[in-house]
Amino acid sequence: MKSNTETRKKHIPERTCVACRQVMPKRELVRIVKTADGTITVDETGKLAGRGAYLCKQKKCWEAGLSGNRLEQVLRGRLTKEDHARLEEYKERL
């Protein structure tokens, strides 16, 4: 039986970066979400409804994620030119 003085360890959700495949705490990654209307955008809060993918906060992971079709596979949708431009703009602010 555990004593009352033992502290419980809080569960920290983890996610995997789609570029480097490193598992990290969810809050250390950036979520990209495909909403119900098909828009693909950065989810700063991590709470938007829709299919999500995670990238590290490093430019090299963003470059790998945006090149090819890694994000499209995970999000199960095509990135439009506008979506790609919006994600590139976010990458430059990192």
What's the length of the chain? 94
Mean of the pLDDT values across residues 75-84?
Answer: 92
Is it true that domain 14-92 has CATH number 3.30.1230.10?
yes
Give the distance between the most distant pair of CA atoms in the chain: 59
SS3 33: strand
Domain residue extents for the chain: 14-92
Of the pLDDT bands very low, low, confident and very high (cuts 50, 70, 90), residue 4 is low
Other residues' Cβ atoms within 10 Å of the Cβ of residue 22? 13
Of the pLDDT bands very low, low, confident and very high (cuts 50, 70, 90), residue 88 is very high
33 contacts 52 by C-beta, under 8 angstroms: yes
pTM of the model as a whole: 0.86
For residues 4 and 35, what is the distance between their CA atoms, to the nearest angstrom? Answer: 44
